[in-house]
Amino acid sequence: MIRLLLTLSFGLILQSVGLAAEKPNVLFIAIDDLRPELGCYGSPIAKSPHLDQLASDGLLFNRAYCQQAICRPSRASLMTGARPDTTGLYHNYVSLRELQPNILTLPEHFIANGYEAAYCGKIFHQGDTDDGRSWNRESVKRVAGIQKPKGGYALPENLKTKSVNVKTMLAKYGEAARRGLAAGPAYEKADVADTDYVDGYNTQMAIATLKEMVQEDKKPFFLAMGYKLPHLNWCAPSKYWDLYDAKDIPMAEETNAPQNGAAMGLHASFELRTRAGIPKEGPLSPELSRTLKHAYLASVSYVDAQIGKLIAALEEAGVRDNTVIVVWGDHGWHLGDMGVWGKATNYEIATRVPLMIWAPDMQARGAQTDALVELVDIYPTLCDLAGIPVPAHTEGTSFQPLMNDPNQAWKQAAFSQYPNPALREWAANPLSQGMRETWFGPLIQQVENRIIEQQGSKWDRELFEQHLMGYTMRTDQYRLVVWQDHRAPEATPIAVELFDHSRDPHETINIADKEPELTQQLLAQWRAGWEAAK
């Protein structure tokens, strides 16, 4: 009898080990500030062969949206499966655990279900790495023959420029200067190795970590790799710049603010203007604009090459066929679109993101889908693909069914939000005194004057600077933007914008006043919220 029990117990252990081995690995790739400027998304210029190849064998989402077009809130939402109004995280200078000490993150949940989890690069925002909870294995910190980059630039003159600018602002404003009041150049082209910049270096750390996890662990792995580029500053090796002929780079088609749009809908490109060599007011010259887009594209191609190396390492390790690969951008980026350089708006160009996925058993290979999906959907999707339960707190919808039938009926809407971009710093935090005192002061005043002129008696400084939230809903045909006092969600909106994508894909004309019945219909749909749109 004892022998029989031991035999049964041993058999159950073997069965458990076998089930664990059958669980797919996850390669989780985050790219900072990447809009869908890739060949697979129809870019006429972007050189992105490795991501294009992945998309050609997986599923590409043509209409994926972030929950807020700024780093920390977007990543906190994705990594917890909860929307910004649930996390309470709306800007970059408050930590996730400060607001949500007990919320279960995506990798934390995978660890609880038998996974080994590690990360390299930027996954959560800086300060939200969640070490010790969301990760149960340290990544490799060094590889023989590769030196860790320092300071973000490879060229000494650029390192010096940054150092001088930061010291000057620190002397004047103290620690507040570290919140973006000084920076080095916006871009750099240098004849250096890929590993001389942090994304190339971190890729090698991720590859070494992958090899260790495959060789040493019996558990399935959740390996996250976060790329900094194409976030400013756009520093990439010369060979990626040389992929492009500057004169052939197409520039933004629509460079004006939306006609009849809300004056608070756009900002003054603060994030870019703080960089050395960028005009502190007024439009950028055509020559500088072209150079900046060239720098952005070079950065995209550089990251694409690193992702190619990472996927090749999966194949070399013999685990490619049992690894889910998901690639996502945390938000879009205006490259002169609507006259803006940066993220941080509620419009299509800032909220739409690249998203693609590959999984071992998916049926829709090399397919694209126009289904409306959101970054908050990634959490439940990966749970479904791994065969683990979806936590009750998550607020997204698993898009696993789309991986087999990408043309089926899906969500009625996707939802994003952003607090007043015009009167917030580029990290979405309220304007500081330092921002008002530097060269940004006149810009802030110009924007404020436009808002006061447009809004008239509705103007209230505390409301517009501290409490005004822009909520946006993207349906199949329309984008609705609702400017609402965050403290009074049932009150009449301060302003409403409506764009018809069937006629106006660049969102150039606000038709809310011309289409009052349609606007009220969409407002009712927005008020019903994301749960009603599933």
* pLDDT tens-digit series, residues 148-202: 998 899 999 999 999 999 898 888 888 777 877 889 999 999 999 999 999 999 9
Whether 281 has a pLDDT exceeding 60, the answer reads: yes
Tens digits of residue pLDDT in 34-63: 999 999 999 999 999 999 999 999 999 999
Residue of 50, 109, 125, 231 with catalytic role: 125
- As beta bridge partners, residue 369 has 61
Q: Closest by alpha carbon to 354, among 81, 66, 123, 72? A: 66
Residues 247-285 as b or e (16 or more Cβ within 10 Å = b): eebeebebeebbeebbbbbbbbbbbbbbbeebeeeeebe
Residues in the chain: 534
Tens digits of residue pLDDT in 122-140: 999 988 899 999 999 999 9
Give me the pLDDT at residue 245, please.
98
* DSSP designation for 195: G
Give me the pLDDT at residue 521, please.
98
Q: What is the DSSP string of 247-304?
A: GG----S--SPPBT--GGG----HHHHTSBTS-SSSPPPHHHHHHHHHHHHHHHHHHH
- As beta bridge partners, residue 329 has 31
Between CA 86 and CA 393 the distance in angstroms is 10
Between CA 367 and CA 518 the distance in angstroms is 33
Angstrom distances, CA of residue 212 to CA of 48, 208, 314, 487? 28, 6, 12, 50
Q: Is 125 a catalytic residue?
A: yes
Between CA 448 and CA 341 the distance in angstroms is 19
* DSSP designation for 135: B
Whether 7 has a pLDDT exceeding 80, the answer reads: no
Whether 255 has a pLDDT exceeding 80, the answer reads: yes
Lowest mean pLDDT among 15-19, 31-35, 138-142, 169-173: 15-19
252 contacts: CB under 8 Å, gap ≥ 6: 334, 335, 336, 337
Q: Closest by alpha carbon to 88, among 100, 80, 78, 79? A: 100
Residues 468 and 484: beta-carbon distance below 8 Å: yes
Angstrom distances, CA of residue 298 to CA of 182, 188, 226, 287? 24, 10, 18, 17
φ, ψ for residue 346, nearest 5 deg: -105, 15
Give me the pLDDT at residue 36, please.
98
Angstrom distances, CA of residue 90 to CA of 40, 77, 188, 437? 31, 10, 31, 24
pLDDT band at 240 (very low <50, low <70, confident <90, very high): very high
pLDDT band at 10 (very low <50, low <70, confident <90, very high): very low
pLDDT band at 12 (very low <50, low <70, confident <90, very high): very low
In percent, how much of the chain has pLDDT > 70?
Answer: 96
Between CA 181 and CA 273 the distance in angstroms is 10
Burial label, 213 (beta-carbon count in 10 A; 0-12, 13-18, 19+): buried
Give me the pLDDT at residue 511, please.
98
Residues 494 and 483: beta-carbon distance below 8 Å: yes
pLDDT band at 432 (very low <50, low <70, confident <90, very high): confident
The residue to which tokens 């008239």 are assigned? 456
Between CA 151 and CA 158 the distance in angstroms is 9
Between CA 16 and CA 253 the distance in angstroms is 57
Averaged pLDDT, 414-420? 98
Handedness of CA 147, 150, 152, 157 (dihedral sign): negative
Whether 2 has a pLDDT exceeding 60, the answer reads: no
Averaged pLDDT, 391-403? 98
Q: State the alpha helices, DSSP H only, in 136-256.
A: 156-173, 198-216, 238-241
Residues 162 and 184: beta-carbon distance below 8 Å: yes
Tens digits of residue pLDDT in 338-384: 999 999 999 999 999 999 999 999 999 999 999 999 999 999 999 99
Averaged pLDDT, 256-260? 98
Give me the pLDDT at residue 426, please.
86
User: What mean pLDDT value characterizes the chain?
Assistant: 94
Phi-psi region of 399 (alpha: psi -120 to 50; beta: other; left: phi over 0): alpha
In sequence order, what E strands does 367-475 have?
Answer: 367-374, 414-419, 468-474
φ, ψ for residue 317, nearest 5 deg: -80, -5
Tokens of 199: 């994304």
Predicted TM-score of the model (pTM) = 0.94
Residue 463 CB-half CA count within 13 A: 15
Strands 221-227 and 323-329: unpaired
- Residue 485: Cβ within 10 Å count: 17
Residue of 40, 50, 66, 71 with catalytic role: 71
Q: Is 71 a catalytic residue?
A: yes
Averaged pLDDT, 527-532? 97
Give me the pLDDT at residue 287, please.
97
Between CA 448 and CA 80 the distance in angstroms is 35
Between CA 50 and CA 48 the distance in angstroms is 6
In percent, how much of the chain has pLDDT > 90?
Answer: 87
- Residue 501: Cβ within 10 Å count: 16
Give me the pLDDT at residue 4, please.
35
Segment holding 78, helix H or strand E:
helix 71-80
φ, ψ for residue 210, nearest 5 deg: -55, -45
Residues 350 and 335: beta-carbon distance below 8 Å: no
Between CA 468 and CA 189 the distance in angstroms is 40
Averaged pLDDT, 58-85? 98
61 contacts: CB under 8 Å, gap ≥ 6: 355, 356, 357, 368, 369, 371, 373, 399
